[in-house]
Amino acid sequence: MSDERTMRDRMLAGEPYIADDPVLAQESQRAQRLTHELNTADPNDHDLRRRLLTELLGGFGEDSEVRPPFHCDYGYQTTIGARTFANWGLVSLDVATVTIGDDVQIGPGVQLLTATHPIDPGPRRDKWEAAEPIVIGDNVWLGGGVIVCPGVTIGADTVVGAGSVVVQDLPSGVVAVGSPAKVIRSI
């Protein structure tokens, strides 16, 4: 019996899939078109930028701002809560869901990376990949250049120092720094 699910179905279910699937390629092209429009829009045209982000993303909260350039795989897998600010150069590789809470502060050059690839060379050569969701809790501050790896949840009110690489969940109300990021104190 064959598996009738599409590669998109597999991706959305968090199962291995092949990224160059024609449907996924079309959805990625849509995101590239919208991010290009966003990234080249008049920086003073806040209404246009809000409209583009609302069309691109799975959710875009009231009074939130994402400064271009912004890059993502699909857009509809990323949600941004209310009153959140993302500085220049946010990358959201949203193969799995990326959930950013309310009142989050994101420094320049932050990368939210959900994609995973097989360790075995054969499946990797055959273009299989998967993904794990990322959750950024309310009132989190991610310093400039932070990298958040697949499957990570960062609890509310946590601060992650600039340049840190977050490879495992962080609890609420802590300061974490380093590569890999380690909790250095409670708030």
Q: How far apart are CA 141 and CA 118, in angstroms?
A: 31
Closest to 176 (Cα-Cα) out of 156, 155, 150, 158: 158
Residue 4 has pLDDT above 90, yes or no: no
List, in order of start, the domains of the chain with CATH numbers.
7-186 (2.160.10.10)
Q: Cα(first)–Cα(last) distance of the chain, in Å?
A: 55
- The string of DSSP letters for 83-119 reads T-EE-TTEEEE-SS-EEE-TT-EE-TT-EEE-EE--S
Give the pTM: 0.95
> What would the pLDDT profile of 30-66 be if each residue is shown by its tens digit?
999 999 999 999 999 999 999 999 999 999 999 999 9
> What would the pLDDT profile of 66-87 be if each residue is shown by its tens digit?
999 999 999 999 999 999 999 9
Tokens encoding 177:
């720094």
**How far are the Cα atoms of 28, 35, 47, 74, 77 from residue 23, in angstroms, in the given order?**
9, 19, 30, 11, 15
The phi and psi torsions of 83 (rounded to 5 degrees) equal: 60, 30
Catalytic residue at 117?
Answer: yes
**How far are the Cα atoms of 18, 37, 92, 158 from residue 7, in angstroms, in the given order?**
6, 27, 20, 35
